């Protein structure tokens, strides 16, 4: 008969425990890595869904703009505003810029300057028509 050594079962139990511990550590690390990857994917999915929502809002705005631009109202607005057209029976009134001699007001620190030739814009011409000639402070602005 062979004698069994009393300590022979202990090394096998230690070996099995080390293998089980190694597999557990591997599974824990793998689970952590997968959880982190899942978190990144979820954040990316949320970001992309927000982009899709923004793109849909832009698309809705562009479709509304396209239908407005295709309407007769827009065509009439552009014809009146940019092309200066009028409907039959209407009269277009345009005030053209005109040169006007204006002597700038002399201030305490300035030297007398000869009258300058100033070209008026249509807005200035309307102002002059309704409210009189512009003052020096209006000319500086």
Of residues 8 and 66, which shows the higher confidence score?
Answer: 66
101 lies in the same domain as 56: no
Q: What is the domain extent for residue 67?
A: 9-88
- Statement to judge: residues 46 and 84 lie in one domain: yes
pLDDT averaged over the chain? 79
Closest CA relative to residue 104, chosen from 65, 61, 139: 139
Question: Is 16 a residue whose pLDDT tops 50?
Answer: yes
- Quote the pLDDT of residue 102: 46
Model pTM? 0.44
Same domain, residue pair 18 and 80: yes
Residues 132 and 79 in one domain: no
Other CB atoms within a 10 A radius of the CB of residue 125 amount to 16
What is the average pLDDT across 15-27?
95
- Residue 26 is predicted with a pLDDT of 96
Q: Does 3 fall in a domain? A: no
> Given this model, what pLDDT does residue 89 score?
86
Give the range with max mean pLDDT: 49-58, 109-118, 121-130: 49-58
- pLDDT-based confidence at residue 53 (cuts at 50, 70, 90): very high
* Cα distances (angstroms) measured from residue 32 to each of 22, 26, 127: 15, 10, 75
């Amino acid at each position: 008969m062979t004698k069994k050594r009393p300590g022979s079962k202990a090394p096998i139990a230690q070996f099995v425990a080390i293998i089980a511990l190694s597999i557990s550590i591997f599974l824990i690390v793998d689970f952590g890595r997968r959880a982190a990857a899942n978190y990144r994917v979820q954040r990316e999915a949320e970001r992309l869904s927000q982009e899709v929502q923004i793109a849909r809002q832009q698309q809705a705005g562009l479709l509304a703009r396209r239908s407005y631009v295709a309407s007769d109202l827009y065509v009439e607005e552009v014809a009146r505003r940019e092309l200066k057209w009028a409907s039959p029976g209407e009269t277009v009134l345009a005030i053209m810029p005109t040169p006007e001699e204006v002597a700038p007001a002399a201030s305490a620190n300035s030297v007398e300057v000869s009258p300058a030739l100033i070209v008026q814009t249509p807005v200035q011409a309307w102002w002059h028509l309704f409210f009189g000639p512009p003052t020096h402070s209006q000319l500086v602005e």
